[in-house]
Structure 1
Amino acid sequence: MAEPQPANVTEGADPPDVIPANAEDRKAAAAMSSLDTRGDADASAPKKEVDLKALNEAMKSLGVDQESKKKPAAAAAAKKEEPKKLMKVDAADVALLADQLDISKPKATDLLRAHDANAVKAMTAWVTAAV
């Protein structure tokens, strides 16, 4: 059989929330709880501004900065925008590197392009990297 419950307990009710100790934690908790509830139509505009301000302060206290997230993406986009310079390499140089270094022709072509189509620079770089 079930035990009788006190009169002040209602079935399905959530237990009371624990109030944070300091003001900063209370602000963060208020911001997080406001995210859980959907905004009412009667007071949504001013409440959103206050909630966003509290949320931004909470995020700053956690060490999350929105501007720092954008900077690496902007740097990566700038790198992608730089076009690769097309360089014509001599077929004899490609054959020489492929034969002497025992690498494939596409790899020899990339090696030459990385070293301004200079076979001596490319071969020297390959040998020093292998050692």
Structure 2
Amino acid sequence: MAEPQPSNIQEGASDPPPPAGSAEDRKAAAALSSLDANDDAGEKKDVDNKALGEAMKNLSVEDKEVVPAKKEEKKAIKVDPADVTLLVSELELPKPKVLELLRQHDGDAVQAMKAWVTASA
């Protein structure tokens, strides 16, 4: 014969998460846990919309400390088609990679080749 269970234990429920660090985190956790509460009476749940909104706003996939890197502005550099052909044949790179390499080195094929060989070594 099974022993009676306390009324606050739900079937399939896991251990409660450890308490959150800050007061704001605790409020957010309380708001989210109130959504998960099992209401057998069928009454409308009383949800703190402000706390729920704050909790949802604070959810983030990215780390808050990470600052997005600024994209470098692409300079309008005129690239000689002969240089592109030379680098494609000699370095055996695809044309888009060669164009990028030449733009990084202001269209100078010699500097681009030196940089590629140095980086590859």
Q: By percentage of residues, which structure has more helix? A: 1
TM-score (norm 2): 0.50
TM-score (norm 1): 0.47
Which structure's CA Rg is the greater one? 1
